[in-house]
Chains A and B, each alone.
Chain A
Amino acid sequence: DVVMAQSPLSLPVTLGQPASISCRSSQSLVHSDGNTYLNWFRQRPGQSPRRLISKLSNRDSGVPDRFSGSGSGTDFTLKISRVEAEDVGVYYCMQGTHWPYTFGQGTKLEIK
């Protein structure tokens, strides 16, 4: 299975400051169709995960533009330009290129 390694696992951030989460995969996530199936999800306490970013950098409807996804090959990043209180939760990267699809361990973002 493709191993997805996130860092940091805990991310305390001051309101209004930027935040960045790294995700590294054990194999390239470039699919034979040319797409990179790397998604980002956020899970708030007591809720189901919500997809924020699909295929590396495509923001889902309703996701603020302060969220951005980037990267290539095996190295990926989720950036939040200015953290707001509603951003608290656990963030997961997930690869959908190789079966079985796999998730990172999660990064818990909290407000300092």
Chain B
Amino acid sequence: QVQLQESGPGLVKPSETLSLTCTVSGASITSHYWSWIRQPPGKGLEWIGYIYYTGITNYNPSLKSRVSISVDTSRNQFSMKLSSVTAADTAVYYCARGAPSGDTWGQGTLVTVSS
């Protein structure tokens, strides 16, 4: 059974960098695309970007200048960094398998941007 688990700080200060990691179990990270998706409190869903294990990435143009996604095949993990965060980046961040399939999601982690 495939499982994804997000980890990282729950509180980030404005202008700093948000860093999250997704640990994949039950599947090899070399076998699919892997995505990050976010959901501001009480709002809809936004696809942030995705990565293939070879390092191929694609980022949402709305975030492209601030986001980067990387993969660590030795740890079966992939990570996301979002720089220069503001309160508008407060959201539940999900990692998911696939792009565009999104067939399996992590439980999500709430990241609050506040001083």
Q: How many residues of A contact B (CB 8 A)?
A: 23
Within 8 A of A (CB), among B61-115: 61-62, 94, 99-103, 105-108
A57 on interface, CB distance cutoff 8 Å: no
Residue pair B102, A92 in contact (C-beta under 8 Å): no
What does the 1/0 interface line of B35-69 toward A look like (CB < 8 Å)? 00000000011110000000000101110000000
Interface class of chain A by DSSP: loop
Complex contacts, B106 vs chain A, CB 8 Å: 48
Name which residue of chain B comes closest to A47, CB basis.
B107
Complex contacts, A102 vs chain B, CB 8 Å: 47
Q: In the complex, A97→B47 CA distance in Å? A: 13
Residue pair B105, A50 in contact (C-beta under 8 Å): yes
Starting from the known contacts A48-B106, A103-B45, A103-B47, 6 additional A-B residue pairs (CB-CB under 8 Å) come to: A41-B102, A92-B45, A94-B102, A96-B99, A101-B99, A104-B44
30 A–B pairs (Cβ distance < 8 Å), ordered by A: A37-B100, A39-B100, A39-B101, A47-B107, A48-B106, A49-B45, A49-B102, A49-B105, A50-B105, A51-B101, A51-B102, A51-B103, A54-B103, A60-B103, A92-B44, A92-B45, A94-B100, A95-B100, A96-B99, A96-B100, A96-B102, A97-B100, A99-B58, A100-B60, A101-B47, A101-B100, A102-B47, A103-B44, A103-B46, A103-B47
Interface residues of B (CB under 8 A from A): 44-47, 58, 60-62, 94, 99-103, 105-108
Interface residues of A (CB under 8 A from B): 37, 39, 41, 47-51, 54, 60, 92, 94-97, 99-106
